[in-house]
Amino acid sequence: MATTTVTKSGQVRSHTDHSHGHGHSHGHSHGLGLSHHHHHHDTTYLTSTNKKDPGVRITRLGLYVNMGMAVGKGIGGYVFNSQALTADAIHSLSDLISDVMTLATISYSLRPPTTRFPVGYGKIESLGALAVSGILLSGGIMIGLQAVVALTQQFFPDIAAFLSNIGILGHIHDHGHSHGHGGHDLGPNINAAWLAGGSILIKEWLYRATMKVADEKRSSVLASNAYHHRVDSLTAFVALLTISASHFMNNAQWLDPVGGLVISGMIVQAGWQNTRAALLELADVAIDEDIREAAESAATGAMEGTDATLSAVQGVKGGQNFLLEIAVAIPETSTLKDQKVLEDKIRDAVAKKVKAAKRVAVRFIATQDADKGFTNEFLSFNPDLTEHQHSDEHDAKHDEHHDHDVNGTHDIDQKKHDSPLLNDGIRKRKS
């Protein structure tokens, strides 16, 4: 049966009023009743060239704010000796790196397929996601280790001294710094709280401004970005709370590294989930169930009034887009013209239902094979059988070669025996 492939142009579309946008988010819980999305949030407005669009303006403003806050909180965390603020800076930096990596890879990932890359360049974005996730995971682990070291030094100084003497804590301790007298950490400077408080106000304003545009445009993408800002403001609140408490409460310097440890836990969890998601995408994991069901519903609707039935739907994710395959069972009396008409209807229906579909391959199979779907595309391979066949062929060639050698030797000996010239020479030597 025929297999037809249709490739749509790699464009970034607006997903207003649509539930299936580019990519799909991989959320994670922060352990505080919060859910946050890293890296795989929709970047439609971030990569759009329409600068007059309110959604584009507010999204890019958020990018610039993240840049300034990551730098400001990072410097402030170091200068004011606050591990909670430093961890929050890493948290902001992870969002910034994610957006920058998206901008760096988007032009490549949306290139049309070539003979060398027949399914497009979408996996380049997955490689970028893996790099971002690795940085995020490493940064979170280092912040967490520094927080653990600080807590150990405050609550278990003897253990900290022992571990430092044998070199376990030496490397981490050398990278830390103390602003106290006599080498004792007096906790964070209260000025760190001002930075955390300012971060809360800015992020809360961004949340409200983005949500206002989201309501006007009825955009679930902008609503997701707005919630992203709200969660960032709440993590900054954790930093503010622990910094203030450690400064004003007696013997509560340990609260600042606790805040750093809490935020680092969020970062590590986000880094691990994004790393796992990127690896699964590179390994061509199947599309999410909601995307598959949407494509299935669209294809089924396109086949109404025909003798065709849906056999199977499968697909993988390539960057921000989906590469879909649809198996359709049709009667053997169906003509190529009928298949072409049906294929066009299925393609158009799926394109309207799943906006991120970049490639739709429609495969037609016989009605009696409807239950097989795509399984009969794979070649059966039995390594034991192949090895046995190879052994038989080797033995046959060996026997043939052996017979040839034996027969050849026998024929030569016989010819020697029957040769009159050779026999005459032998008689002369005997005489």
Domain assignment present for 259: yes
Does 424 have pLDDT greater than 90? no
**Pair (258, 319) in one structural domain:** no
Same structural domain, 115 and 83: yes
- 267, 282, 297: which is the final residue of a domain? 282
Most confident among 26-30, 238-242, 246-250 (mean pLDDT) = 238-242
How many other CB atoms sit within 10 Å of the CB of residue 126?
Answer: 22
Kindly indicate the confidence band of residue 51, based on its pLDDT and cuts at 50, 70 and 90: low
Cα dihedral value 409, 415, 417, 421, nearest 10: -140
Are 334 and 423 found together in one domain?
no
Q: Which domain holds residue 401?
A: 393-430
Which of 225, 255, 282 represents a domain boundary (last residue)? 282
Per-residue confidence at 175, pLDDT binned at 50, 70, 90? very low
Residues 50 and 84 in one domain: yes
Confidence of residue 413 (pLDDT cuts 50, 70, 90): low
Asked if 70 and 132 sit in the same domain, the reply is yes
- Kindly state whether residues 274 and 297 are assigned to the same domain: no
Nearest CA to 82 out of 196, 214, 184 is that of 196
Q: What's the pLDDT score for residue 179?
A: 44
Concatenated DSSP letters for 78-106?
Answer: HHTT-HHHHHHHHHHHHHHHHHHHHHHHH
- Measure the CA angle with vertex 199, ends 194 and 204; round to 5°: 130
Q: pLDDT band for 310, please (50, 70, 90 cuts).
A: very high
The pLDDT, as a whole number, for residue 42 is 56
> DSSP string spanning 218-264?
T-HHHHHHHHHHHHHHHHHHHHHHHHHHHHHSTT-TTHHHHHHHHHH
Q: Which two tokens stand for residue 175?
A: 């990278």
For residue 208, which amino acid is it?
Answer: R
Q: What residue has token string 């590469």? A: 323
Same-domain check for residues 398 and 257: no
Name the most confidently modeled range: 1-10, 40-49, 230-239.
230-239
Considering only CA atoms, which of 356, 348, 360, 317 is closest in space to residue 12?
356
Torsion angle of the four alpha carbons 164, 170, 176, 179, in this order, in degrees rounded to the nearest 10: 50
Note whether residue 69 is domain-resident.
yes
Helix (H) or strand (E) holding 401: helix 383-418
CA 108 centroid distance within chain: 16
Domain count, the chain: 3
CATH number, residue 344? 3.30.70.1350
The Cα 163–Cα 167 span in angstroms is 6
Lowest-pLDDT choice from 2-16, 274-288, 405-419:
2-16
Kindly state whether residue 383 falls inside one of the protein's structural domains.
Answer: no
In whole angstroms, what separates CA 178 from the centre of its chain?
A: 38
Of residues 327 and 20, the one with the higher pLDDT is: 327
How many angstroms separate the Cα of 184 from the Cα of each of 40, 179, 181, 205, 280?
Answer: 42, 8, 6, 39, 46
**242 and 311, same structural domain?**
no
pLDDT value, residue 49: 63
Q: Is residue 115 part of a domain?
A: yes
* Same domain (yes/no): 296, 253: no
Q: How confident is the model at residue 37 (pLDDT cuts 50, 70, 90)?
A: very low
* Residue that finishes a domain, picked among 282, 308, 326: 282
Tell me which of 90-104, 202-216, 415-429 is least confident: 415-429
Strands 27-29 and 321-330: unpaired
* Interval 146-169: pLDDT, tens: 888 888 888 888 887 777 777 666
User: Are both 273 and 301 inside the same structural domain?
Assistant: no
Could you tell me if 338 and 405 lie in one domain? no
Greatest mean pLDDT among 175-189, 209-223, 229-243, 416-430 lies in: 229-243
Q: Structure pTM? A: 0.65
Does residue 3 form part of some domain?
A: no
Mean pLDDT score of the chain: 76
Quick count: other Cβ atoms within 10 Å of Cβ 275?
A: 19
- The H-or-E segment that residue 364 falls in is strand 357-366
Lowest-confidence region among 37-46, 138-147, 250-259, 331-340: 37-46
Q: What is the mean pLDDT of residues 199-211?
A: 91
Burial of 407 (0-12, 13-18, 19+ CB in 10 A): exposed
265 and 299 belong to one structural domain: no
- Which band of pLDDT confidence, cut at 50, 70 and 90, is reported for residue 390? low
Q: Is residue 328 pLDDT above 90, yes or no?
A: yes
User: Hey, is 318 helix, strand or coil?
Assistant: strand
Distance CA 15, CA 228 (A): 18
**Residue 179 · residue 78 · CB < 8 Å:** no
Inter-CA distances, 319 with 93, 109, 143, 378, Å: 22, 6, 30, 26
